[in-house]
Amino acid sequence: MIQTILLKSRPEGKPSISDFEFVSEESSLTIYQGQILLETAYVSVDPYLRGRMNDAKSYIPPFELNKPIQSGVIAKVIESKNEKFKEGDFVSGMLPWKTKQVANGEGLLKVDPSKAPLSAYLGILGMTGLTAYTGLTQIGKPISGETLIVSGAAGAVGSVVGQIGKILGLTVIGIAGTDEKIDMLKSKFGFDAGINYNTSKDIRAEIAKAAPNGVDIYFDNVGGPISDAVLYNINRFARIVICGAISVYNSKEVPKSISVQPFLVKNSALMQGFIVSNYAEKFPEAMKHLSGWLAEGKLTYTETIVDGFKNIPKAFIDLFEGKNKGKMIVKI
Amino acid sequence: MIQTILLKSRPEGKPSISDFEFVSEESSLTIYQGQILLETAYVSVDPYLRGRMNDAKSYIPPFELNKPIQSGVIAKVIESKNEKFKEGDFVSGMLPWKTKQVANGEGLLKVDPSKAPLSAYLGILGMTGLTAYTGLTQIGKPISGETLIVSGAAGAVGSVVGQIGKILGLTVIGIAGTDEKIDMLKSKFGFDAGINYNTSKDIRAEIAKAAPNGVDIYFDNVGGPISDAVLYNINRFARIVICGAISVYNSKEVPKSISVQPFLVKNSALMQGFIVSNYAEKFPEAMKHLSGWLAEGKLTYTETIVDGFKNIPKAFIDLFEGKNKGKMIVKI
């Protein structure tokens, strides 16, 4: 029995369970020369997938209706007719949401479960860690002693960005949505300060207090009113790394914010969007640092692991309510 | 009789004549060793001065109330006790709005009226040209064949940006506010296309039509709804040069626009504010190109020259109604 999750309808606003369709097939899969048979072990759910559910031009084409959704997956090779892979290997790659599937090995990387837990290859040693490292270093260009503020700080990427910031000698402030998350940022991830945007009466003033020397780098995962509040606190030559805008992904109307242009011109500041694949040439350097810091205990991570293939859509939807701490992963 | 213009009150919204005060002194100025006596010849009025009239932290300190306003000035040396300058020399520099004054020569550059008209040193061979050149080359990073769009295109900086864009092999589209200006962009400055934002029913669609391959570089002098319309048309890896935001300088409330973050992340695009002095190390290269292109006839410029010291405030106010074509200068 093979199960697949299709995009049934394009979400309007917040995605709902009914936007997804489960299909079961009673079939045994046959592989031919060059192919491998994969059994899915872990599926990554990520905010950026929301964008691909719209029928809009973007850096990657939209998901097609009634076709499988895909995301980062860790799978086990259960049969191989490809010399690069053998039975029992684990691989990571962008794959459809299926319990089993045939692949030709293209775009798949072998991962080593003896060096780190398999789920880490979807997180800190995968797209999450690479996104945090490349965005912070290539756009943020941190200089020891500067002040970094991170929104969505308790999320998968945000918590890694903050820790790398500390390793690089920055003062690090995190913004998140519950006191429990704020505590975790400080006690587990070593952030210098945290701001709870749900209980704060004046985020702009709290940022000013937490960053008395102003903000040099803003790693932005959320957009919206939180980002507006940060803008009032940026320094001259500030760098704003736009990694995501989760606060507006579900907007039905084009969201409005304060005009950023006067802030950027007044401060000679930079704002740059990116996706991790822009910096593919930096991946070897990033992996060397990330795995080294992880081994030295300088870097830690949090996962929210949900059980069961049938819970993938719900785990995805929960991202938009901040139910995850760190990387959200579904274990099959 | 020496006349001076003071900032009498900080404008709320659009500046008005009553925000300025004229003071006359019956005094003869005496100079001491190292000093020079200057007679003002030309005064530059520029949109960025509006920002300095607010009592707000910015890259340069605000003007003080009841003190002289200052801007770019060309003056004639009428007496000298400084070995670097002799009587009859002309100098350019940031100087107070006074008909005559004593200076020590610091920060003043000699300019040569035999090589270009004196007013050009406030424009195409001064801050205007340097701003256009450095913003376009250092942030816009143009590649021959790309598409450049310029807002405030008939303004001092905008018209130079468009011409440099053509010299560098770009397709150049200008946005301006009258049909007369659009004609000038095309016939005098060689722009490929122009859009009149005052008569356009759908700027976003007109940009899409004028830039069928999308927008690679946006040189933004205005901000506001025009910039919103451009955002819908940017390409992947677009560079948005924020030179000014004249459309919102007079806003009494914090202006709102569409949220730029989703556009930047979707397109891996960059938006960067600057002031010309950030790129001081590029000035010799810029001057070499600008004066060379000017001599070869590849670069031309338009000035709006207003007569009389008493008309400086009005000339400044007229900038915000688009009454100037090209650089606005007051001849004393």
Identify the band that residue A264 occupies on the pLDDT scale cut at 50, 70 and 90: very high
Backbone angles phi, psi at B303, to 5 degrees: -125, 150
Q: What is the pLDDT of residue A59?
A: 65
* Contact (CB<8Å) B273/A278: no
Residues of chain A positioned with their CB less than 8 A from the CB of B278: 268
Give tens-digit pLDDT for A57-103. 666 789 999 999 999 999 999 999 999 999 999 999 999 999 999 99
Give tens-digit pLDDT for A141-177: 999 999 999 999 998 899 999 999 999 999 999 999 9
Task: Identify which of B212, B307, B224 has the alpha carbon closest to the alpha carbon of residue B260.
Answer: B224
pLDDT surpassing 90 at residue A252: no
Examine the pLDDT at B233 and tell me if it is beyond 90.
yes
Cα A220–chain centre separation:
12
Q: Tell me which of B48 and A179 has the higher pLDDT.
A: A179
Q: How many Å apart are CA A314 and CA A310, to the nearest integer?
A: 8
Q: Is pLDDT above 70 for B84?
A: yes
Cα-atom radius of gyration of chain A, to the nearest Å? 20
What is the mean predicted confidence (pLDDT) over B97-102?
A: 96
Amino acid A60: pLDDT? 74
Chain mean position to CA B176: 15
pLDDT for A188 beyond 90: yes
Q: CA-CA distance, B192 to B197, in Å (whole number)?
A: 16
**Contact: B270, A267; criterion CB under 8 Å:** no
**Rounded to a whole number, what is the distance in Å from the CA of A109 to chain B's nearest CA?**
25
Instruction: Give the DSSP letter string of B118-184.
Output: GGGGGTTTSHHHHHHHHIIIIII---TT-EEEEESTTBHHHHHHHHHHHHTT-EEEEEESSHHHHHH
DSSP-derived letter for residue A326 is: B
Residue A218 has pLDDT above 80, yes or no: yes
Structure tokens at B29: 């100025």
Query: Is the model's pLDDT at B247 over the cut of 90?
Result: no
User: Which conformational region is residue B237 in: left (phi greater than 0), alpha (psi within -120 to 50 degrees), or beta?
Assistant: left
Q: Is B268 helix (H, G, I), strand (E, B) or coil?
A: coil
Verify whether the Cβ–Cβ distance A273 to B263 is below 8 Å: yes
Q: What is the pLDDT of chain B when averaged over all its residues? A: 93
Rounded average pLDDT over B79-83: 96
pLDDT above 80 (res A178): yes
| CA A49/CA A51 separation, integer angstroms | 5
Of A209, A102, A192, which Cα lies nearest the Cα of A150? A192
* Helices A127-134 and A283-295: angle between axes, nearest 10 degrees: 110
Q: Give A132 to chain B, closest Cα distance, Å.
A: 14
Whole-complex ipTM? 0.85
Of A137 and A302, the structure prediction assigns the larger pLDDT to A137
8 Å CB contact of A264 and B272: yes
Q: What is the DSSP letter of A225?
A: H
d(CA A235, CA B313) in angstroms, rounded, equals: 32
Contact A271 B270 (CB under 8 A): yes
Least confident of A48-57, B212-221, B267-276: A48-57
Name the residue type at position B285: E
pLDDT at residue B51, rounded to an integer: 86
Which residues of chain B lie closer than 8 angstroms to A151, CB-CB? none
Tokens (6 digits) for A61: 């084409």
A207 Cβ neighbours under 8 A, 6+ residues apart: A149, A173, A195, A215, A229, A230, A232, A233
**Do B70 and B61 meet the contact criterion of CB atoms below 8 Å apart?**
no
* B220 contact residues in A (CB cutoff 8 A): 261
Compute the distance between CA of residue B162 and CA of residue B160 in angstroms, rounded to an integer: 5
Which 3 state secondary structure label does DSSP give A238? strand
Beta carbons of B256 and A256 less than 8 Å apart: yes
Structural domains of chain B, with CATH: 2-123+302-331 (3.90.180.10), 127-277 (3.40.50.720)
Residues of B in contact with A138 (CB under 8 A): none
pLDDT band for A325, please (50, 70, 90 cuts).
Answer: confident
Largest CA distance in chain A: 63
pLDDT single digits (tens) B42-64: 999 998 899 899 987 666 789 99
Least confident of A48-62, A164-178, A284-298, B199-213: A48-62
Is residue B267's pLDDT more than 90?
Answer: yes
State whether residue B107 is helix, strand or coil. Answer: coil
Least CB-CB distance to B273: which of A59, A245, A268? A268
Contact B245 A227 (CB under 8 A): no
CA separation, residue A85 to residues A331, B39, B91 (Å): 22, 83, 74
Long-range contact set of residues A305-308: C-beta below 8 Å, sequence gap at least 24: A305/A119, A305/A329, A305/A330, A305/A331, A306/A330, A306/A331, A307/A331, A308/A332
pLDDT digits (tens, 9 = 90+) for B213-230: 999 999 999 999 999 999
Position A52: which residue type?
R
CB A299 within 8 A of CB A160: yes
Instruction: State the pLDDT at residue A254.
Output: 80
Residue B302 confidence class, pLDDT cut points 50, 70, 90: confident
